[in-house]
Amino acid sequence: MFPFLILPPPGCRHVPEWTGRGFQLGNALVPVLAYGVGSSGWTDELTTFSEEAGGENHYMDVASRANAMKALTTHISVNRPVLMDIGCSSGFMLKALKKRFPSSTVLGSDYVQEPLVSLAQSNPDIPLLQFDLTQCPLPGGCLDGITLLNVIEHIEDDVSALRQTLQLLKPGGIAVIEAPAGPGLYDVYDKHLMHFRRYRMADLLFTLRSVGFEILHQSHLGFFIYPAFAIVKKRNRKYLKADPIVQREVVASSIHKVKDNRLMHSVMRVENATRRYISYPAGIRCVVTCRRPAGNPE
């Protein structure tokens, strides 16, 4: 039995029922439950580009998933948690969640539909939903844990998105949130991938607290390689007004050069191993583990 009631998508009178291999809507079995979406800085084409350029083994994304998994493992104690990866894209984090929490219910969601349809073909046992996080159709207080990795920078109204994230959690539920750090490092990469912003940690923490989150841990990802990263980002700012084709080539080249670098993987493993003892003051991405307070009303 599905752990909570899901509302029908727009234009449908049937309450969706999860079958274990898709959602039953009346006489139709649909692999992805799709709701209306608003404006966002992401597209099907960008998903394809990002996955082809970076892939599953990019050192930053491997470290990102490892950090999120450690945070959830540390703070989630219920036996059968209900977990969602928001912005699940090609499903790398979903696979990690299912492996680490085999008795859990794991759901995936994204703003764009095409990668979800592809993901459903290879993982038909994972409930997948398409929706706009600022207008989330799920009931409040339905999830024990959420991973929100490199998503909020694509949402213009990030405050509403974080408020909805809070409301999706059960009291005591955990969210692991990651976003690009350093507003002054906004460059052609951010522009091409339609980032509305990069974040100062203090600003992100202020926003999280303002919507009701309790901060459990804060740090940065990519501390040791940050100086070299900052130099490259500042250099690439000169391409902000270049032709879009040139911008795309610059971004793809930057990702390809280091995506599966063994040294980078080793550096990030060391950093992840020590992050529980050290809150790194700078880095490529802000990483925050936060909780919906037990007394927070739905």
The whole-number pLDDT of residue 42 equals 56
Name the nearest CA neighbour of 107 among 75, 142, 134: 142
**What are the sequence ranges of the domains in the chain?**
32-291
Confidence at residue 14, expressed as pLDDT on a 0 to 100 scale: 92
Task: State the DSSP code for 183.
Answer: G
Which uninterrupted H or E stretch holds 216? strand 214-221
DSSP-derived secondary structure for 112-181:
-SHHHHHHHHH-TTS-EEE--GGG--SPTT-EEEEEEES-GGG-S-HHHHHHHHHHHEEEEEEEEEEEEB
Question: Would you state the pLDDT for residue 262?
Answer: 86
Number of H helices, E strands in the chain: 10, 11
Instruction: Report the b/e string of 122-151 with b at 16+ CB within 10 A.
Output: ebeebbbbbbbbbebebeebbbbbbbbbbb
Q: Residue 185's Cα: distance from chain center in Å?
A: 21
pLDDT string in tens for the chain (298-residue length): 688 889 899 888 999 999 999 999 999 999 999 987 654 555 566 666 666 555 678 889 999 999 999 999 999 999 999 999 999 988 999 999 999 999 999 999 999 888 899 999 999 999 999 999 998 889 999 999 999 999 999 999 999 999 999 999 999 999 999 999 999 999 998 988 889 999 999 999 999 999 999 999 999 999 999 999 999 899 899 988 888 888 888 887 776 666 667 899 999 999 999 998 899 999 999 999 999 999 755 5
Give the whole-angstrom CA distance, residue 94 versus residue 106.
Answer: 7
CATH class of the domain comprising 32-291: alpha beta
Distance (Å, whole) CA 281 – CA 190: 22
The pLDDT value recorded for residue 193 is 86
CA distance 46 to 66: 24
Burial degree of 159 (CB within 10 A; 0-12, 13-18, 19+): middle
pLDDT value of residue 45:
64
Q: 50-59: buried (b, 16+ CB within 10 Å) or exposed (e) per residue?
A: bbebbeeebb
pTM of the predicted model over 0.85: yes
Say how far apart CA 198 and CA 186 lie, in whole Å: 7
Quick one: pLDDT at residue 51? 61
Closest CA to 296 of 143, 171, 144: 171
